[in-house]
Structure formats: C-alpha cells, structure tokens
Amino acid sequence: MTNQVVNFDKREDRKSSLLKSLSEFSKEHRAAHWAGTFGSFLEHVFPADARGIARTSHQYIWDMMRSDGFDDSQGRFRCQLFEDELYGINDTIERVVDYFKAASAGSEVGRRLLLLLGPPSGGKSTMVILLKRGLEEYSRTDAGALYGIHGCSVHESPLHLVPHTLRGQFRSTYGVEITGELCPYCVSRLQHEFAGDFMQMPVQRIFISEAGRVGVGTYAPHDPTTADIADLVGSVDLSKVSEFGDEGDPRAWSWSGAVFAASRGMLEMIEILKVKREFLYLLLTLTQEKNVKVSRFPLIHLDETIIAHTNLAEFRKFLQEAENEALLDRMVIIQVPYTLSYKEEARIYKKLTSSTQAFREVHLDPHALHVAAVFAVLTRLHEGDEREAEQAKKVRLYGGEDVEGVPQSEVEKIRARSPEEGLAGVSPRFVINALSGAIIQSSTKSLTTMDVLIALKDAIESDVRMDGKKKRKWIDYLVTVRKDFYNRWVKEDVHKALFVSFEQEAQQLLDKYLDEVEATLDNRTVKDPITNEERKPDERFLRSVEEKIRISESGKLSFRQEVVRKAMGAFKRGEKFTLDSHAPLHDAVEQYLFEQRRDVLRLVSSSTRPDEETRQKISVVEKRLVDEYGYDPHSAREALNYVTTLLAQE
Ligand SMILES: Nc1ncnc2c1ncn2[C@@H]1O[C@H](COP(=O)(O)OP(=O)(O)OP(=O)(O)O)[C@@H](O)[C@H]1O
Ligand SMILES: [Mg+2]
Ligand SMILES: [Zn+2]
C-alpha cells in the first residue's frame, strides 16, 4: 500500500468514527418524550416516581449534583460537573454543594437567595453556567425526567391541578406533599377550554433548555435607570387585549419575564446589586414565599432557585446603606475567591490558552505558565509587612509543596489568619491578556519564560488603572518569581538533562550515602563491592554531600540520625527510601551530582566558537531538554544560555 492510500484510509476511519459518536450522542439525547392528559399522567407516569415528580427546584438541583458526584480520596463529596472546569476553589464549591444539600433537605437556607461574591473573572459566571448545563443534561436522563402542563408559560407542575381537598389523600397514598397553586393562565384555560375538567388538561415531559427558555432564566441589568420590572415579570400584551377584551385576562399577559422562564429550575441574576431595590424585594419574596405579585393577578406561585452574583466593589457599596442590612439577612453569601495555588492557577491558563487558535500554534516552555501563576498568587496574598522570602514560602506552601520548617498541616491555620487573601490581585484575564500580547509580538512561535515575564512587566507598566506604587510592587513580585522560582526550576531541568539517567544516578548516590551513614553511626566498616576489602566509612564523601546544604560539622550527627530514622520508617512501611522521602537530602544529592557535570555548562559559555566535540556535548543536553523536559529547540537553547549565565554569577 502506498502512503497515500494509508492516509486516505485513516481519514475515512476518523470520519466514520465521528459519525458514530454523533449518532450515539443524539440517541442519548433523544430522551423519551411523553405527552398525554393529566388523567393518563396520573395513571401511567406519576406512580412510578412520585417523589421524583414532586421534587422542588432545590431538590432537583441537588439530585442533579448527586447524579454525577463521587467521593474523593479524603471521603469528601465532589461534583464531577465542576471538576473539569473550575480549579483550586474546592472550598467554595463545597459550600455551594452544601447549600443545595441543606436546601433540599428542607432547611431554612432554601428560602434565601444564593449570592456568589468575588473578584472579577474569578469564576462566578462559569460556576453558574456549569449548573445550567448540568440541569439541561440531567433533564434528559430518566432520573431527571420533569413534567409540566403543556402550553403553560411557567411549565408548572401538573400536580398543581390536584384540588386542595384531595391533596391529603395524595400524601397518604404516595407519600408526597403537593405544594403550589395553578397559575392564572392555566386557571383561565381550564375554565375556557376544559370546562373545569382538570383530568383533561394536557401534560408533557419538559426538557430544561436555556435557549428554549425552559427552566433557566437569566437577567442582566443594562441601564439601571431604564430597567423595567417587566423584564422580570412581563407586561400586558396590547396586541392581545382586543382579542380577549380585558387587560386583566391572563391570556393577554406577555409571560416573557425571566422569572417565568426560570420556573422549575434556576434564575441567574447577574450583577444583582446593580438592580433597583424594587427588583431585589421581588426576588427575595420569590425565594422566601415562592410567589410573585403581578398587577391585576392574584399571587403567582413559582418554584425556582435564584443564584445571583456580584463583585466586591458593588457589595461594599451596598453594605454602606443601612436599609440594606435586612436584605442581607435573606441571602446566603458564598465567596468565590481566586485560587491561591499556583499550580491550579496555571491549569486555568492552560485551559484558557488551549481553546484559542493563536495559542495552539505557539510553544510555551514548561515554566512559562507557572511563573505567570506564581506572580498572580503573589499579588493575591495579604499585604502585610511580610518579607519577600516569606511570601515566596507561602506561595510554595499554598501550592502544596513541602517547605522546610512548616508542615502542610499548618496551611489551614496560616490561611485562616488572612481571610481576605484571594479576594484581590491579578485576575486570570489580566495574565491571559498579557500572554496574548506577547504572542502577537513574537515571531518565533516559541514563548519562553523570560518572554512571559517581560510581557507581564509591560502589561503592568501600561495599565492605566494602577498607581505608581502598586506598579513598583508588582514589578518587584516579578523579580521574586524569577529569583525564587524560575531560577530554581530551570537550573534543575538543565542539570538533569546533563545526565543520561538522572533518577537512577541520584538513587544510587542516595543509597551510597545511606550505607556510609549507617556504617559511621554503628561504628562499622564498609565492604567495597568490587575489591571486597573492608574499609572505614568514607567521611569525606559524606561531608561533601552534606556541605551542599550547609550542614555544619556540629550539626552533622543529628542530621544523620534523622535521615536514618526516616529511612527506617520507610523500610518498616515497606516503602523504598527515595529522594522524595527527604527534601533536604534531595537538594544535597542533586547539587552534588550537578557539581560533577558543571564542566559541560562551562563549555557553553567559555567558548565563543565551540569545537566539534563541545558542540556535540551541548546538543545532547539540548536534545534531552526537548525530549524529556518539555522544551522546544528554541527554548532549550535559551534555557541553557540562561543557566550558564546564572552559574557564572554564582
Ligand atoms: N478557579 C477557576 N478555575 C477555572 N477557570 C477559572 C477560574 N476562575 C476563573 N476562571 C476562568 O476565567 C474566566 C473568567 O471567569 P468568569 O467569567 O466565570 O468570572 P466572573 O467571576 O463571572 O467574572 P466577572 O465578575 O468579571 O463577571 C473564565 O473563562 C473562567 O473559566
Ligand atoms: Mg461574570
Ligand atoms: Zn400554568
């Protein structure tokens, strides 16, 4: 077969597999439709899942969350819905999940409006979008089947048709409580079309759909001065008044408001504190009493969950007005801060960049996103008098790294000391914009960490919203990022690339160190593996490893005892004692090995015109950087040059 034929076949394979997935997708999504009279609904549909059909919107959302939930390694409930899209804000997500769990169980919180409060582009909208998409999906599953009165603008539950006098019987027969009244439109229709015979009212399965305005409503205030409450609750439809002859006829009402669309599901209120107080009262009553008042009609029963969001500036303004205090009592406020883990922050950039064509064509060196993320986290930390080194330490701790002297178990306490951390500082959007700028300017299709640092500096300097003092401070953070993070990372890459098999050599060295230490502590001799001669432990070797991490002559004994203790511990647990078991020893072993290979790096800088042999050695290192450490040829060369310069300064 020629190459062309092979390629053609592959293409066809791909096409047919795409078609297959598309048709499977649509099959899954062609969930069972159902339509019939209320009488037939009661006979054929309701008894099979009485509880499911009588669910409130809070219970429905909680069931949706549970349907794709799982318990993580610590036994905490996690929701798959958020996992792939929201990073580093697990505490916030947990609080949202808890809200729904409690509301679903009938707690008072279900009568309060859920308000997400956080800094700009911190994921509030994303969280709400995920919930909406989750509801749409769930309503297409068997477990998420929802039914509504056909033709009703609020797709209300058919159970509202059951007269109050019979509801007690329903409770005793099916164990479900029916709450809620028929809407004015259905009341009128029942009289006019069915002469009051509710068993004949049409019912159908409904599917939540934001585009179709079923079960999802969204309201964003445009101009608060012209905003009309009609956007929320509709208004008289003048074209229909003549047909029905009366403005008070519910059939002449335009049921287009967001609260109606959201019925049975969720209403998203964007920038809620920007709306008029009149709106706010309406929404709070809706959450608390489950009804709205529309002129000329009796109260309209609506069951929906309101999720609102706002930023901190707006919230502080709102707090300043005393009369708002009572309103706050009727909200559950959950903060959505920026993440403080630089690793999670970098994942956000990865997600945002991988969905953009311009980024996909450009190679980023393996630390480019991490340095940007460290910078972002630094700007989010408490602005006390803490010194740079302390802040760098904090970033590493929050990122889940081991820091000497501070166990990870302390992290929660440290976090609790500065609750405002994560509520201000650089947003993911700021960083992404800076990166985009750098990409547009670069012609190489390869962005190095240094390019990214420069792009961030430019972005800070050209930001008109920032004063000079803040700019200087943030630029200082960039220096910290480079000194305390990037230099360490890039040196480690280059150093490792100097070895054919770094891990193996490092482990051998560690084993040797441990053997010699045990022998000294026990006052034993060591048997040379080659000559089989017994010799005294190699104190010179031990010291040369220990000096790499500045273990003093007087401190060596306790250091060695501690190492042996850890090694014994690992041995007892049936684990291997590796470099990862002991952070200081890790550094020491690495440095010891690097010292041995320094000559190669010296060659990079010393010879302006390297000979064939030198060039060969250098290109082997570059190749390893590319093959094993995520660089491309351009960034590998840059990294080598950079590390060489660093070494020259040491
Ligand atoms: N913790 C996070 N995890 C994953 N992505 C995030 C996170 N925070 C923000 N993002 C991403 O940043 C972008 C902006 O977030 P989003 O629009 O949800 O923020 P917001 O809080 O609604 O902001 P605003 O107050 O400006 O409306 C989105 O693309 C979102 O995916
Ligand atoms: Mg938003
Ligand atoms: Zn109705």
Q: What is the pLDDT of residue 2?
A: 43
Listed residues: CB within 5 A of ion ligand 3: 152, 156, 183, 186
Ligand 1 nearest-atom number relative to CA 336 = 21
Give the ligand with the smallest distance to the CA of 263.
Answer: 3
Q: What number of CA atoms fall less than 13 Å from residue 386's CA on the CB side?
A: 17
d(CA 372, CA 553): 40
> What is the mean predicted confidence (pLDDT) over 181-209?
95
Q: What pLDDT is recorded for position 15?
A: 66
pLDDT band at 594 (very low <50, low <70, confident <90, very high): confident
Answer with the residue of higher pLDDT: 502 or 204.
Answer: 204
pLDDT of residue 176: 92
Ligand nearest to the CA of 149: 3
**What is the rounded CA–CA span in Å between residue 450 and residue 448?**
5
Mean pLDDT of 49-58: 95
Q: Which ligand is nearest to the CA of 376?
A: 1
Contact 376, 425 (CB under 8 A): yes
Find the ligand nearest to 123 CA: 1
What the block records as the tokens of 571 is 């041995």
Instruction: Tell me the two tokens of residue 470.
Output: 């803040």
Higher pLDDT, 27 or 366: 366
152 closest CA partner among 209, 201, 208 = 201
Whether residue 50 is predicted with pLDDT greater than 80 in this model: the reply is yes
CA of 315 to the centre of ligand 2 (A): 14
Q: Report the pLDDT value the prediction gives residue 1, as an integer from 0 to 100.
A: 41
d(CA 331, CA 111): 9
**Does position 609 have pLDDT exceeding 70, yes or no?**
no
pLDDT at 617: 78
Say how many Å lie between the CA of residue 327 and the centre of ligand 3. 30
Task: Take atom 25 of ligand 1 and give the residue whose Cα is closest.
Answer: 120
The answer to whether residue 189 scores a pLDDT higher than 70 is yes
| pLDDT value at residue 603 | 67
| Burial annotation 340-364 (CB, 10 A radius, 16+ → b, else e) | bbbbbbbbbbeebbeeeeebeebbb
CA–centroid distance, 125 to ligand 2, in Å, is 4
CA nearest to 371, candidates 302, 448, 291: 448
Query: Which residue among 87, 126, 369 is best mutated to probe the pocket of ligand 1, counting the most ligand atoms within 8 A of its Cβ?
Result: 126
CA distance 433 to 379: 17
* Higher pLDDT among residues 500 and 110, named by residue: 110
Strand order across the beta sheet in which 113-117 lies: 216-219, 266-269, 305-310, 113-117, 331-335
Which range has the worst mean pLDDT, 365-374, 528-537, 555-564? 528-537
Identify the residue whose C-alpha is closest to ligand 1 atom 7: 123
Q: Residue 614 is encoded by which pair of tokens?
A: 């030198």
Ligand 1 pocket at CB < 6 A: 85-89, 118, 120-126, 311, 339, 348, 352, 428-429
Atom number, ligand 1, closest to the C-alpha of residue 128: 18
Residue having the nearest C-alpha atom to atom 10 of ligand 1: 123
CA of 116, closest atom in ligand 1: 21
**Nearest-CA neighbor of 177 among 265, 262, 106?**
106
Is 50 exceeded by the pLDDT of residue 3?
no
User: What is the atom index within ligand 1 of the atom nearest the CA of 118?
Assistant: 21
Q: How far is the CA of 151 from the centre of ligand 3 (A)?
A: 8
Cα dihedral 48/54/59/65 (nearest 10): 30
Taking CA atoms only, the protein residue closest to ligand 1 atom 13 is 121
126-178 pLDDT, tens digit per residue, is: 999 999 999 999 999 999 999 999 999 999 999 999 999 999 998 999 999 99
Calculate the alpha carbon distances from 333 to 83, 112, 167, 304 in Å: 22, 10, 36, 18
Calculate how far, in angstroms, residue 316's C-alpha sits from the geometric centre of ligand 2.
18
Whole-prediction pTM: 0.84
Give the model's confidence band at 442: pLDDT under 50 very low, under 70 low, under 90 confident, else very high.
Answer: confident
What's the token pair of residue 433? 């914009």
| Strands in 135-261 per DSSP E | 146-149, 202-206, 216-219, 235-236, 253-254
- 3-state DSSP assignment of residue 514: helix
Compute the average pLDDT of residues 285-313: 91
Q: How far is the CA of 320 from the centre of ligand 2 (A)?
A: 23
pLDDT tens-digit profile of 317-350?
A: 998 988 888 888 899 999 999 999 999 999 999 9
379 CA from centroid of ligand 3 (Å): 52
In degrees and rounded to multiples of 5, residue 122 shows phi and psi of -105, 10
DSSP 3-state of 306? strand
How many of the other CB atoms lie within 10 Å of CB of 144?
21
Query: Shortest CA distance to 179 belongs to which of 50, 263, 303, 42?
Result: 303
Ligand 1 atom nearest 126 alpha carbon:
18
**Residue 364, phi then psi, degrees to nearest 5:** -110, 135
User: Running DSSP on this structure, what letter comes out for residue 32?
Assistant: P
Nearest-CA residue for atom 3 of ligand 1:
86
Pocket test of ligand 1: the residue of 86, 115, 121 to mutate, having most ligand atoms within 8 Å of its CB, is 121
Whether 193 shows a pLDDT value over 60: the answer reads yes
In the chain, what's the furthest Cα-to-Cα distance?
113
Mean pLDDT, to the nearest integer, of 584-611? 76
Atom of ligand 1 nearest to the CA of 123: 18
Phi, psi of 259 (to 5 degrees): -65, -30
* 396 and 414 Cβ atoms separated by less than 8 Å: no
Distance, CA 429 to ligand 2 centroid (Å)? 12
As a whole number, mean pLDDT of residues 618-633 equals 92
Quick check: 64 pLDDT over 50?
yes
Residue of the nearest CA to atom 29 in ligand 1?
A: 352
Q: Which residue has the higher pLDDT, 540 or 9?
A: 540
Q: Give the model confidence (pLDDT) of 515-533 as tens digits.
A: 999 999 988 888 877 778 8
d(CA 271, CA 273): 6
Question: Is it the case that residue 6 has pLDDT exceeding 70?
Answer: no
Tokens of 41: 């609904």
Q: Which atom of ligand 1 approaches the CA of 270 most closely?
A: 27
Measuring CA to CA, which residue among 462, 128, 99 is closest to residue 265? 128
Q: Is the pLDDT of residue 604 over 80?
A: no
pLDDT confidence bin for 23, thresholds 50/70/90: low
Nearest CA to ligand 1 atom 18: 123
Say yes or no to pLDDT of 254 above 70.
Answer: yes
Give the chain's length. 650
Q: How far is the centre of ligand 3, averaged over its atoms, from the C-alpha of 371 (Å)?
A: 56
Mean pLDDT along residues 470-490: 95
- 340: nearest Cα among 452, 425, 459, 457: 425
As a whole number, mean pLDDT of residues 357-372 equals 92
Q: What is the pLDDT of residue 334?
A: 97
pLDDT of 5: 46
* More confident of the two residues 346 and 503: 346
What distance lies between CA 427 and its chain's CA centroid?
Answer: 14
Q: How close is the Cα of 118 to the center of ligand 2, in Å?
A: 10
Give the Cα separation of 547 and 409 in Å (integer): 30
- How far apart (Å, rounded) are the C-alpha atoms in residues 309 and 125? 8
The minimum-distance atom of ligand 1 relative to the CA of 127 is: 18
Asked if residue 292 has pLDDT above 50, the reply is yes
Atom of ligand 1 nearest to the CA of 88: 1
Over range 303-326, report the average pLDDT.
90
Provide the total of helices (H) and of strands (E) in the chain, helices listed first.
30, 18
Q: Which atom of ligand 1 is least distant from the CA of 124?
A: 21
Q: Are 263 and 304 in contact (CB under 8 A)?
A: yes
CA of 235 to the centre of ligand 2 (A): 28
Determine the straight-line distance between the first and last CA of the chain, rounded to whole angstroms: 59
State the distance from the centre of ligand 3 to the C-alpha of 63, rounded, in angstroms.
24
Tokens of 172: 């005793």
Structure-token match 């009703």, residue found: 152
Nearest listed ligand to the Cα of residue 119: 1
How many Å apart are CA 499 and CA 371, to the nearest integer? 25
- DSSP string for residues in 46-111: GGGGHHHHT--HHHHHHHHHHHTEEE-TTS-EEEHHHHTT--S-HHHHHHHHHHHHHHHTT-GGGG
CA distance 473 to 487: 20
Percent of residues, the chain, with pLDDT higher than 70: 94
CB 309 within 8 A of CB 115: yes
Question: Which ligand is nearest to the Cα of residue 311, counting in written order?
Answer: 1
104 CA to centre of ligand 3 in angstroms = 24
**Counting beta carbons within 10 angstroms of the beta carbon of residue 142, is it exposed (0 to 12), middle (13 to 18) or buried (19 or more)?**
exposed
Residue 485 CA to its chain's centroid (Å): 24
Q: How confident is the model at residue 221 (pLDDT cuts 50, 70, 90)?
A: confident
For residue 348, the ligand closest to its alpha carbon is: 1
Position 385 scores a pLDDT of 64
The best mutation among 269, 309, 341, 348 to test binding of ligand 1, ranked by most ligand atoms within 8 Å of the C-beta, falls on 348
pLDDT bracket for residue 535 (50, 70, 90): confident
Q: How far is residue 16's CA from residue 25's CA, in Å, rounded to a whole number?
A: 14
Residue with CA nearest ligand 1 atom 20: 121
Distance of alpha carbon 519 from alpha carbon 513, whole angstroms: 10
Query: Are 138 and 64 within 8 A, CB to CB?
Result: yes
Give the mean pLDDT of the chain: 88
Closest CA to 336 of 135, 134, 128: 128
388 CA distance to ligand 3 middle (Å): 63
Percent of the chain with pLDDT over 90: 57
Q: How many angstroms is it from 186 CA to the middle of ligand 3?
A: 4
